[in-house]
Amino acid sequence: MPSFDVVNKVDLQEVDNAINNATKQINTRYDFRDSKTEIKFDKSAKVIHVSTDDSMKMRALEEVLNTQLVKRGLDPKTLDYKDEEPTSKGGVRKDCHLREGIDKEMGKKIVKLIKAEKLKVQAQIQDEQVRVTGKSIDDLQSVIAMLNGKDLEVPLQFINMKS
């Protein structure tokens, strides 16, 4: 039976490249001159630590980071921005967690969307992915098109297409 997996994976090397490009861009921007702006990437914890002087620069920093992610072929939805916190030196900092995998709640939502289409396919949650099986590849392709059309909180990739 044909099948495929719906997953949410992040290429950590591409994230690292995007952060390096964002750092270079910030170092050359006039509005960030003489500011204490830092971007650190903790690969093991999959967290990006961002700190700067004020909230306005933080928003500009997020915009630069999102732009660089898009240029590297990554979806900005992979970043889960936490709330701003003041630092002891008068600046602000923020942590951005990388979303990877499909949690149970999102998996249930994806299965519910697939079942609402009333196609002859079965969807089941397996760890941090959703496996979709069906009798025809056309049904599977219409499921992929439907999921691509939905605006979910996490970016989705479709892998292991077997016929």
What pLDDT score does 63 carry? 93
What pLDDT score does 40 carry? 93
What pLDDT score does 163 carry? 76
Identify whether the C-beta of residue 139 lies closer than 8 Å to the C-beta of residue 3.
no
Mean pLDDT of 14-28: 92
Token output for 80: 């889960």
Token output for 62: 């997020």
Mean pLDDT of 89-114: 90
Token output for 25: 């861009």
Burial class for 150, CB neighbours closer than 10 Å (0-12, 13-18, 19+): exposed
Mean pLDDT of 15-41: 91
Mean pLDDT of 133-153: 88
Mean pLDDT of 127-134: 89
Residue 25's pLDDT band (cuts 50, 70, 90): very high
Q: What residues contact residue 66 under an 8 Å CB cut-off, 6+ apart?
A: 76, 79
